[in-house]
Chains A and B, each alone.
Chain A
């Protein structure tokens, strides 16, 4: 039985990953699906004043919200799955979970960005690939928005032009 880890953050890209797992499930129903949502930890300024139970409840509530669309998709076709919540860095938590639960694959949705946008915004997929030796299936998501496609390039170009002008003067 294939144990597949699907990190879900509620974005449309992560739903592409769920859709891919569903299509794989139709070919081979012997798949053990684990949905994982990673929540960023609260800062120590917050945790100092609020008790642990409230913080856990806040994390749970946020993760339920993020997992809802993915769970709906799987529930509609009656596919069995289990849900997990981790608190910490996205990439490191995913890699750690895959190692602990001995997952066979990680299926992750990836935005289709060019190298410049990726350098600036970072990519969870790239970080996961760096941290783990578990095979990763990257599922192509939506192309970047117009703002991302042109805005960042214009911004970087404009910044460089300003530097050149400043250096010349």
Chain B
């Protein structure tokens, strides 16, 4: 898997006014028919258990409508122009490794979008640019007060997106409540 990752070449990139890489796109390496973005759901991936749960929900949704392609969106913090040249691709591929492996094993095609900046606005912009059917995000299942204190990307997306947002809540694990 890692060997294949080092040879992955982005199929698209975007730079800001300083020439810094701010967005990269990768396509699935396996030869599979790819559906246009307008028919696909876009899944927000951050490598956590919750985003993997969101991915399985999105796969079920895609299977029901007979579209075996998903867009994956992953957002990273700002990097310096020099660091972004190598780090953005490396971090994006590392974060989404599990998600891509799962999609490959289930016969799904995917498009990976690696972005830089604030998670919620970047993801909303991405789905609007792609014209996706909607965004799929995992939620940690925080209560109102916890969400207010920790900030919830899912909340921000729901109230800023113009399209549909699927929120997949992972059933709460008891040890996680203690960690909060």
Contacts and interface: CB of A to CB of B under 8 A. Distances in A.
B48 interface: no
Nearest to B162: A140
B169 A129 contact: yes
B158 A135 contact: no
A140 B170 CA distance: 23
A113 B160 CA distance: 8
Given A137-B166, A140-B162, 8 more contacts: A27-B65, A28-B64, A104-B60, A130-B144, A133-B171, A135-B169, A136-B169, A137-B167
Interface in A98-153: 104-105, 107, 110, 112-115, 118, 125-126, 129-130, 132-133, 135-140
Interface residues of B, number: 27
A161 B66 CA distance: 57
Interface in B130-180: 134, 139, 141, 143-144, 154-155, 158-171
A137 B159 contact: no
Interface of B: 39, 57, 60, 64-66, 134, 139, 141, 143-144, 154-155, 158-171
A28 B167 contact: no
B165 A137 contact: yes
A83 B169 CA distance: 26
Nearest to A143: B162
A137 to B, nearest CB: 5
Contacts of B159: 110, 112-115, 118
A24 interface: yes
Given A112-B159, A125-B158, A139 B64 contact: no
A28 B168 CA distance: 21
B141 A133 contact: yes
Interface in A66-123: 104-105, 107, 110, 112-115, 118
Contacts of A137: 134, 164-167
- The 5 A-B pairs of least Cβ separation, nearest first, read A28-B65, A138-B158, A138-B165, A135-B168, A137-B166
A24 B66 CA distance: 12
A160 interface: no
A169 B158 CA distance: 43
B155 A126 contact: yes
18 contacts: A20-B164, A24-B65, A27-B39, A105-B166, A114-B159, A115-B159, A129-B139, A129-B169, A135-B166, A136-B167, A137-B134, A137-B164, A137-B166, A137-B167, A138-B167, A139-B163, A140-B162, A140-B164
A24 to B, nearest CB: 7
A2 interface: yes
The winner among A105, A112, A138 for most chain B CB atoms within 10 A is: A138
A156 interface: no
B71 to A, nearest CB: 16
Nearest to A110: B158
Contacts of A24: 65
Nearest to B170: A133
